[in-house]
Amino acid sequence: MRNPGEFNDSALPLFGSDNTPAEPLLNAPLPSYIKDHRARLRSRFMSGGANAIPDYELLELILFRSIPRRDVKPVAYALLKAFDDDFNRIISADPLRLAEVEGVGPAVISDLKIFEAAAQRMTRSKVMQRNIISSWDALLDYCHVTMSHRETEQFRVLYLDTKNTLIADEAQAQGTVDHVPVYPREVAKRALELNASALILVHNHPSGDPTPSEADIQMTKQIEMALNALGITLHDHLIIGDDTELSLRASNYI
């Protein structure tokens, strides 16, 4: 078995090899058409930035690390086809779904998940330990990066202190494509453990439509009642869609 640590072209020992056809021998030179294409693409990206290249080429740049000795264009196109030409859905996809795509193996999945984690961490750093009310746009950006392209519902709770500073951001529950179980008592219990003074609820609609269901509204009201009994404020419940979001507070649902 080839040792991943011997990859050249910036491959790292952290990643295993892909479940794809065998690559050329390590002592064989990289085919010039692949080498030249990679050099041109990297140069174009560095000179023009992300706006200078389409999604499939941005995917290629990521895949260069994962698949250092072969043409990655077929894998990039296969990923886009599998996820409806949506770059964000590819990055945020479940590893098991990614593994179903031809040419995608452990190394590709690892790099995609690292890319996703980096994007989330960058947006998260703009809201953690900051006043959420005055950083609302940054909060919405973070919610969209983290949740808008998930294929199943996720329910998150943002816990705030007396100055509306975000002290914790936790995924309370995971669900299916159209439902996520939420228990008001658990939300309230965790708020007490963190000594939180206020909360913001967030969940996504994989359908892309942020319009709240009757279950969403009733669940929000139940949580608000539980929090009110403890002297904790519910600022809002945000529902994240593909390209937009809905505030239950601003829309007068609560």
pLDDT tens digits, residue range 179-236?
A: 566 788 889 999 999 999 999 999 999 888 899 999 899 999 999 999 999 999 999 9
Q: Which residue shows structure tokens 């139940």?
A: 222
pLDDT band for position 18 (cuts 50, 70, 90) = very low
pLDDT at 201: 95
pLDDT, tens digit, 9 for 90 and up, residues 34-62: 788 888 889 888 888 888 888 888 899 88
Q: Choose between 76 and 29: higher pLDDT.
A: 76
pLDDT at 112: 92
pLDDT at 179: 55
Q: Stretch 4-27: mean pLDDT, rounded?
A: 44
User: Which tokens go with 28?
Assistant: 């064989």
pLDDT at 14: 40
- State the average pLDDT for the chain: 82
pLDDT band for position 153 (cuts 50, 70, 90) = confident
Q: Which residue shows structure tokens 């601003």?
A: 250
pLDDT at 223: 93
Tell me the range of 87-91, 96-100, 131-135 where mean pLDDT is highest: 96-100
pLDDT at 27: 54
User: What pTM, to 2 d.p., does this model score?
Assistant: 0.65
pLDDT at 110: 92
Instruction: Return the percentage of the chain with pLDDT > 70, whole number.
Output: 83
pLDDT at 154: 87
Q: Stretch 86-108: mean pLDDT, rounded?
A: 89
pLDDT at 132: 81
pLDDT band for position 7 (cuts 50, 70, 90) = very low
